[in-house]
Amino acid sequence: MFSMQELDAALALVHGAFGPTPAYAWPLLAARAGCEVWVKHENHTPTGAFKVRGGITYFDRLARRGTEVRGVISATRGNHGQSLAYAGARAGVPVTILVPRGNSTEKNAAMQAFGARLIEHGADFDEARAEAKRLAGQEGLLFAPSFHADLVVGVATWALELFRAAPRLDALYVPIGLGSGICGAILARDLLGLSTEIVGVQSTGAPSYALSFAAGHVVETNSADTKADGMATRQPDAEALAIIRAGASRVVTVSDDEVAEAIRAYWADTHNLAEGAGAAPLAALMQERARWAGKRVGVVLCGGNIDLALFRSWVLGINTP
């Protein structure tokens, strides 16, 4: 998809906005998992999630092509929207974001704080995405999908940083929303010529990519029932699926209870707060820990943007009257 030169250029572009995020081997996580665990802390970016890397390259490539746009529009559950809002503000391009009704109030506030026009529509991400595409045509805006080559080359820089900073990893667990994070990891691994096994992670309540991976073709689901909103998609991207099937060993599914336990583990062992999708890779590692006894495994804490109310009710079990 891209050359090493293009990936290094994307890394330099991203580092023009912020520096590399940390990668640490946490001893308490190692004791918990029975293997050496390297965490890539993408919760430490300016938006609290890895997707901002893709937003930066997306707008840069629009400018390099001389593409004139009245504005960019997209749909999100939060982190993709924050990425576009942050990068759009830097590029001087207005950004409109569609979110489903009942979306994270704190992610909504963050997108607006970065300058996005926010519109609530539909019951889930896929309905919000359909409305964003309709509005793009009606208002003459450029629709920015959640999975696009110009996003992937930027997102891949998180994995490039990890592979260069950490010792050689036996495996790397990556959550799947629409696929940019795991496809970026596959791209970076292959360009570096590494043998690291890459494992995708989905929710048991939103398993569209897991089902598609097993079937060998796109399988849509009727619902995406998970509190880990970054993985709550019903319609896989065909291009992303092809890359995942060619480059990942398998897709593991984890329950919301397993994810909640992983969020608690991150807080107890590293004092980092993870959102659901951010903790899912650790949940999958814990599910498969017998496989990696004594080995070295990477997990990406891809975001820390969890609402306080959701954290209290889901992770801590505190019901607010």
Mean pLDDT for all residues in the chain = 96
- pLDDT tens digits, residue range 246-287? 999 999 999 999 999 999 999 999 999 999 999 999 999 999
- pLDDT (tens digit per residue) in 110-145: 999 999 999 999 998 889 999 999 999 999 999 999
The whole-number pLDDT of residue 312 equals 93
- Asked, colleague to colleague, whether 4-50+149-315 and 52-143 share their fold, the answer is yes
pLDDT, tens only, 69-106: 999 999 998 899 999 999 999 999 999 999 999 998 88
Cβ distance 160 to 288 under 8 Å? no
Query: Does 1 have pLDDT greater than 90?
Result: no
Domain limits of the chain? 4-50+149-315, 52-143
The CATH architecture that domain 4-50+149-315 belongs to is: 3-Layer(aba) Sandwich (3.40)
Q: How far apart are CA 176 and CA 193, in angstroms?
A: 23
DSSP type of residue 71: -
The amino acid present at 249, given as its one-letter code, is S
Q: What is the pLDDT of residue 77?
A: 87
List strand residue ranges (DSSP E) for 65-217, in order: 72-75, 95-99, 117-120, 142-143, 171-175, 197-203
Secondary structure element (H or E) that encloses residue 280, with its range: helix 276-287
Reply yes or no on whether the pLDDT at 319 is more than 90.
no
**pLDDT per residue over 35-44, tens digit each?**
999 999 999 9
Residue 320 pLDDT grade (very low, low, confident, very high; cuts 50, 70, 90):
low
- pTM value is 0.95
CATH architecture of 52-143: 3-Layer(aba) Sandwich (3.40)
